[in-house]
Amino acid sequence: MPRALAVTCKVICLLLIGVVGSLLSEKNDLQFLVLTFSVQFKSVTLGLLPLQAEPIRVVVTGAAGQIAYSLLFSIAKGDVFGKDQPIILILLDIPPMLPVLDGVVMELQDCALPLLREVIPTDKVEVGFKDIDAAILVGSMPRKEGMERKDLLKANVAIFKTQGQALDKYAKKTVKVLVVGNPANTNCLIASKSAPSIPKENFSCLTRLDHNRACSQVAMRCGVSSDKVKNVIIWGNHSSTQYPDVHHAKVNLSGSEVSAYDAVKNDAWLRGDFISTVQLRGAAVIKARKLSSAMSAAKAICDHMRDIWFGTKEGEFISMGVYAAGNSYGIPEDLIYSFPIQIKNKTWKVVDGLPINDFSRAKMDATAAELVEERDTAMDFLSQ
């Protein structure tokens, strides 16, 4: 009812504007009136339908798997790209998984989500990557209990070379690529090198899960909710050599902002068990659940992609694996390395000038060394 009333008022106003306009103009009165009215009537009619943006195309690989199952719903609901952004969701997986993918498509339909324009299941990269705006590369060998990160390396080089080439060939050049499948940093580097026509800055890998885990550990220690902890940093590789650094983190305690070290009041924990807890959390979850940490990974993916799309808050930074060339922290070039990042206009920038003490330096170097080794092994596989 209120809508009809508003529309009627709108029509009357526009009619009046048209009449006044025609009176003031020097053109033929009647012609002008008809012209302006018809143009305005069209805009009124369009105003009856909810005004929405053009849909964006988003591909998720490994779409039949655990992490995607937790993730796709959040994307389709609007939690990542915004409540007014319609989405065409492309689900890519290997041929044996196509029947499972059909089940996922059925479920997404059954969720009755308004933003989901279309769901396209496929096993073909030329369909999967065509004209896409965002790619979330989840698919890789799943991590099982006891499996080391390096076990995954060889098989994954093949996967990410193919996908990098497909991005190069089919995706929009503005595509934002988030690599999740482990080993994430090295897979991201391989994909980026296989897509030379897409800027290296468009590629990133997920360390937001580790970042969220670190925030949560500090928050629980301080007895606050995790949104009261900010500016935690994850340096380096999304592996057990990652360095969760809280030297620049802040905790909001009863309204006043305190440095993390002062809030926690336990330096030994922050330099010891806190770090190892975050580093080994993935393995701990697998041990308990017998499955990978899909729910929290999906949440971190949403956070990462949403921050790329909408930017980070003033004064706050988050962690992302990005291309290390040109960094001011003495990290070797030609790596995908996790840094503290701020984002604006879909562009990230490493937060410069943070003081680094000897403790941090040693840890940052250790994880860089692992990444250099992974890269060199991977590049060998790549050139074969």
CA distance 359 to 93: 43
Smallest gap, in angstroms, from Cβ of residue 359 to a second copy?
25
- In the block, residue with structure tokens 């929290």: 296
Angle value at C-alpha 258, between 256 and 261, nearest 5 degrees: 160
From first CA to last CA, the distance across the chain in angstroms is: 68
For the segment 28-57, give every residue that binds a second copy (CB under 8 A).
49
Does 341 bind a second copy (CB under 8 A)? Our answer is no
Q: Are 322 and 335 in contact (CB under 8 A)?
A: no
Binders of a second copy among 173-212, rule CB under 8 A? Answer: 209, 212
3 lies in the site for a second copy, by CB under 8 A: no
Comparing CB distances to a second copy, the nearer of 295 and 379 is: 295
Options 153, 206, 215, 233; binder of a second copy; rule CB under 8 A: 215
CB of 296 vs a second copy, minimal distance in Å: 4
27 binds a second copy (CB under 8 A): no
Q: Of 288, 353, 357, 383, which one interacts with a second copy (CB under 8 A)?
A: 288
238 as an active site residue: the answer is yes
Comparing CB distances to a second copy, the nearer of 9 and 284 is: 284
CA-to-CA dists, residue 201 to 39, 126, 343, 351, angstroms = 43, 23, 12, 15
Stretch that binds a second copy, among 167-175, 218-226, 262-270, 369-377 (CB under 8 A): 218-226
Q: How far is the CB of 45 from a second copy (least distance, A)?
A: 9
**Residues pairing with 176 in the sheet:** 134
252 is in an annotated binding site: no
**C-alpha triplet 287, 370, 281: angle, nearest 5°:** 20
Q: How far apart are CA 8 and CA 263, in angstroms?
A: 59
DSSP string for residues in 168-200: HHHS-TT-EEEE-SSSHHHHHHHHHHT-TTS-G
**Residues that are catalytic:** 238
* Residues in contact with a second copy by the rule CB under 8 A: 49, 69-70, 72-73, 99-100, 102-104, 106-114, 116-117, 209, 212-213, 215-216, 219-220, 225-227, 281, 284-290, 293-296, 298-299
